[in-house]
Chain A
Amino acid sequence: MKIAIKQSLLSLFFFAAIVGCAPKADKKLPYIGEPDIEEKIVDGKTITDTIYHRIPSFSFLNQDSVLLTEKAFDNKVYIANFFFTHCPSICPTMQRNLLKVYEKYKGDDRVSFLSHSIDFKFDSPSVLKAYAQKLGVTNEQWQFVTGSKKDIYGLADQYLVYTREDASVPGGYDHQGYLVLVDKDKHIRGAYDGTNEEQVAQLFTDLEILLQEK
C-alpha cells in the first residue's frame, strides 16, 4: 500500500515537472541591469515606478561610412556584440555563431544585428565593409560600426560587456564574447556567451520568445 502511494506521488511529481516545463504563451524574458526606482506623486499619492536599464543614444560610423544612431534600431529586436576584425581569439567563434542567427532571420525586418569594433585604430569603415562581405553578410540587417575609444568602450559598459585595450593579450584587446539581446525599447533581455554552443542555442529560443512578446 505504502509503495503504491509512493509511486503515485512520484508519478504526480513527474507529471508536474513535465507540465511545468511546457512552453507557455505568456513566457517573458527577464530585464537585465540595475533598475532605477523612481518615486512620483500622482494625484496626491506616492507611486513607485521601476525604470529598467536602457541602452542610451549613440552615434557611430558604419561599414558604409554613414552615421548610424540608435534610431536605426527603433521598434526592432537586436543582438549586439563587441569584436575586432583581426581578433585571433574568441571573435571568429562568436561571429560564426551570430552568423547562424543572422542566416535564420535574414529578411525578417523585426530583427537586426550590431557589431561594434573595439579596435578604433585599425578597423576603419572600409576594413569593416570588407570583413562583413567576407563573413557572408549581404544586407543592411547586420551593421558594423566604429567610433572613438571613449564612445565604444563607454557603450560597452552600458551593454554590460567588458572591453579593454591590453597589450598583453593576443591581438591587443581584451573583451567578453557576449551576444546581447536587446528588445524594442532598448532594454537588455539576455546575454549569451557567443563561444558556448548551449548558450547560443538558448539565444535562438529566447529570441523567439522576445519576438512573441506584446
Chain B
Amino acid sequence: MRKLFLSSLLISTLIGVLITIQACQPNVSIETAQYAVNGQKLYTTHCQNCHGAKGEGLGQLYPPLTDSIFLNKHRSQLACIVKNGMKGSIEVSGKKFDNEMPGIPQLNNVEIAYILTYVTTTFGNSTTTYTQEEVAKNIASCD
C-alpha cells in the first residue's frame, strides 16, 4: 500500500515537473532556453534601462522590442545594432523613432547571441537560438 502511494506520488511529481517545463518554454530547445536565461542577465545590465523590463520601450524616446515583424525583418542587422549602435529614423510598432542608440562594443559574439536569443524569443515570436555563428556572420557585414 505504502509502496503504491509512494510510486504514484513520484509519477505525479514527474508529470508536474514536465508540465511546468513545457509551460515555461513552449517549443524551444534546451539550448535556446539556456541562451535566453544568460541573455536576460545581460539584457538587464545593458538594455533594460531604456527598453524596459518587458521590452516595452518608453514613449517615442526608446522603441519597444516587442514588434515581431520588425525583429524578423531586420534579424540580420540586430547584431550590428547591439554592437555598434544605431542612427537615423526607424519605424517600430507604428511609431517613429529618431534618437541615437549607443552601441556596446565590448560585448563579444556569444554575449550578443545570448541577448538576441532572449529578445527574439521572449519579446518576439522566434523559437530558435540566435547562434554565435549567426552573430559572427552578421557582424562581418555591418555597414
| Interface residues, chain A, with chain B CB atoms under 8 Å away | 86, 88-93, 95-96, 99, 131, 133-136
Contact = CB atoms under 8 A, between A and B. Distances in A.
27 contacts: A86-B100, A88-B49, A88-B50, A88-B102, A89-B49, A91-B49, A92-B49, A92-B58, A92-B61, A92-B62, A93-B48, A93-B49, A95-B58, A96-B52, A96-B58, A99-B58, A131-B61, A133-B60, A134-B59, A134-B60, A134-B61, A134-B99, A135-B58, A135-B59, A135-B61, A136-B59, A136-B60
Interface of B: 48-50, 52, 58-62, 99-100, 102
Contacts of A131: 61
A88 to B, nearest CB: 6
Closest 9 CB pairs of A and B: A134-B60, A136-B59, A92-B50, A134-B61, A135-B59, A92-B49, A93-B49, A96-B58, A134-B59
Contact of B59 (A86, A90, A91, A99): A99
Contacts of A96: 52, 58
A147 B24 CA distance: 50
Contacts of A92: 49-50, 58, 61-62
Nearest to B99: A134
Nearest to B58: A96
A88 B101 CA distance: 9
